[in-house]
Amino acid sequence: MAYLKSNVLGYDWANRNERNDSLAKGYLSLFAQFISLDGKIAHTFEKKLTTDIRVAWSIIRDGQIGNGGLKHRLQLKNQDQKGFTFFFGDDEHTYLLVLTHRGNCFGKNTFWNKATATSC
């Protein structure tokens, strides 16, 4: 199971100052949980993303984060007998992550838009 998680998106604030303070400290991350056949969480994976949280906040509707301002929306594919692949892009990178069925990072390709490297 994979989704976008934020500490500010989808929440309401009492006033504009509280909202602005929260958005200044806000983040968006890819969050994935790997669930075993007996229903227990086997592993949790989280990758913080580089996005403009204010833009993401301005486009949400009814508390739904949606794509959260990602340049390339989150795509998750099951790779038979291998694990899972995640494809997505934030403001700085376009990612292709390969994770095993247990949630361990098997391989990573980052297609750079800026000259910085990241890891799983």
pTM: predicted TM-score of the whole model, two decimal places: 0.64
- Rounded to whole angstroms, the maximal C-alpha distance in the chain is 50
Kindly report, residue by residue over 12-24, the tens digit of the pLDDT: 778 888 888 888 8
Q: Which residues of the chain have pLDDT under 70?
A: 9-10, 59-68, 106-120
- DSSP notation for 74-113: EEEEEETTTEEEEEEE-SSEEEEEEEETTS-EEEEEEEES
